[in-house]
Amino acid sequence: MNYRTVKDSMGELQVPEAALWGAQTQRAIDNFPVSGQPMPEAFIRALLLAKAAAAKANVQLGMLEKPIGDAIVDAVNTLLGDAELMNHFPVDVFQTGSGTSSNMNANEVVATLATRSLGQDVSPNDHVNCGQSSNDIIPSSIHISAAMQISDTLIPALDHLQQAIRDKAAEVDGFVKTGRTHLMDAMPVRMSQSLGGWAEQIRSCRKNLDHQLTQLLRLAQGGTAVGTGINAHPEFSELFSHELSKLTGLPFQPGPDLFALISSQDTAVQTSGALKTLAVALMKIANDLRWMNSGPLAGLGEIELEALQPGSSIMPGKVNPVIPEATAMAAAQIIGNDATITIGGQSGNFELNVMLPVISANLLNSVQLAANTSRLLADKAVSSFKVNEDKLQEALAKNPILVTALNPIVGYMKAAEIAKQAYKEKRPVLDVADEQTDLGREELERLLDPAKLTHGGI
């Protein structure tokens, strides 16, 4: 490999000849061979958009000459359209806590391309980073990337999942199944009622994320090093948000207190909390599907999930609930990411949080996992499962818990006696109640009709 010599304030070093980055990026590559995991592409794209918005704002404010500003914007557009974009951004997630290395990586790459197109020197620090500090551009990029990912991918995925559940609920409304509490037989429910509960969980999670999205739209940009705005034009923050909004289609605005947005990552922690709540909901739905699908002979066998792949390397014919399992694992990862983000959020020391890169990486990973698994769950599990009506009816007919409906008439103790006898003799509760009460067969059939019992009341 051929190398070229580059220089920064600490001296000279060698950089690969073809690399667009400069000295500070190379130092980060050399200093942080930690995970081999670069910052997420969504974060890099957000950072580049922020560089373009900053250049546009600084030109309007007279802080940059127009040709230089235009060259910066053109360089950003070139990078955003590059299929090999991430080859230019190799800095490890586990780097300096402010994300300065990633900021300078972007500054250097953009400056190289801008210099080539303009034919005169464009400085990474004085031009591309004009009016900015790593301490405000990285927190802003965390918000920008998370807001874009939630708005563009996660919320549509949740809407899709919620609609798929509601459509399936309408389809299976006529099926009544044994309800279960503590994994034990309970009063009957319509299958649509169970699914309706899932849909409400997803609706509530989406509402939480809608709220967090409004918080993510408030940016630290303009606070520069510590929140005071040193070296930035007084109008830069407002104009930056305006230009960024035009680039992204999202209504970004300056945060109400730039000191808070630089020194803490409370919004990221809150957003992660909303994602964790979603993960819990997804895991609940996934596990319900797994349980209902269990069997087919020795389990509940209430539904049959779509067969997607062979389930065993040794047991022929076995098919597993792979989509619910994948969803549950993704949910577990989101919950783990939340723990990392929570610890990261605690690392706001005085005027700066120093775990910004790992907060961003985990937050974006959670958004991606939640969006992808929501669509898979909708399309390859919820929408496509089939109901085993014979299995439902078999369990309902023998469910002694139906006797609960007789409590107001015969009393709890008598009802318990009927239930215990039905359990012991493995007989339908209707037959035992007919022997133990004088209500009459027709009245008992009315009172113990599983479908009617799903409506509640006396």
Report, as residue numbers or ranges, the catalytic residues: 182, 312
> How many CB atoms are closer than 10 A to CB 55?
30
Contact 391, 365 (CB under 8 A): no
Q: How far apart are the first and last CA of the chain?
A: 82
Distance from C-alpha of 64 to C-alpha of 123, rounded to nearest angstrom:
11
> How many CB atoms are closer than 10 A to CB 134?
22
Element (DSSP H or E) covering residue 186: strand 184-190
Distance from C-alpha of 34 to C-alpha of 95, rounded to nearest angstrom:
8
10 Å CB burial of residue 8 (0-12, 13-18, 19+) is middle
Distance from C-alpha of 211 to C-alpha of 206, rounded to nearest angstrom:
9
Question: Token pair 């120093």 is at which residue?
Answer: 354
**Residue 264, SS3?**
coil
**Residue 254, SS3?**
strand
